[in-house]
Amino acid sequence: MARFSDAAKIATQFGTKDAGKAIKGSTEEVVLNWVNNISIEMQKILMKTSTSRRNRLAQSLFPQVLQGSKPQSIKVGIVTTENYYDYVDKGVQKSPKGRGGSENQSKNKAPRSPYKFKNVGASEAMIESIKSWTADANASADDAERIAYFVKRKGLTPKNYIKGSITKQSKAQLSEDLSSTLGRVIKVQLVNFNK
């Protein structure tokens, strides 16, 4: 069986798929399989709550093995190529102001989100992004400006796909699998490295 440092070297050089061969039957395999299952759960949640047939965020999620801070350690995470992943997960609060500077009376879809729209005016980048989305959602690109206005006016509903995919059962399964592999009792604690 390959040592972990060999697996990390292969993962860094060739990606997760080949690293799986190097870490077969090890604790790293258990963790990587668990993270892969979590990414699949995230994809299911995103697809279930999506208005688009082809959810780009769901399709971009994949597990990745990285060298840890110590020589015999690893970091395994779920990576995405889409930079808006956190807005989708946590939602975005509505703009406090409506058109003409009046107070926005709309119901807030994400009152506890750390993100907030500043105004109801949509940037060209937002309108272009919505036009791109309309092609996947069977909507008219002509409606992009109107959709952008309503998104900013009401906010974005949080999808909670990150916490929703990591359940008590999935953590218990990871603990059980690691305990079985190591022959020791393991307690799982998850840490968010993005904070």
Domain segments of the chain as ranges: 4-83+161-182, 92-154
Q: Would you give per-residue pLDDT tens digits along the chain (195 residues)?
A: 334 445 555 555 555 555 545 466 677 788 888 888 999 999 999 999 887 667 888 988 888 777 677 766 667 778 888 888 999 999 999 998 877 777 878 888 999 999 999 888 888 999 888 888 887 777 777 888 888 999 999 999 999 999 899 888 988 888 888 888 777 666 666 666 555
Give yes or no for a contact between 27 and 178, defined as CB atoms under 8 angstroms apart.
yes
35's CB contacts (< 8 A; 6+ apart) are: 63, 76, 77, 78
**Nearest-angstrom CA–CA distance, 91 and 116:** 9
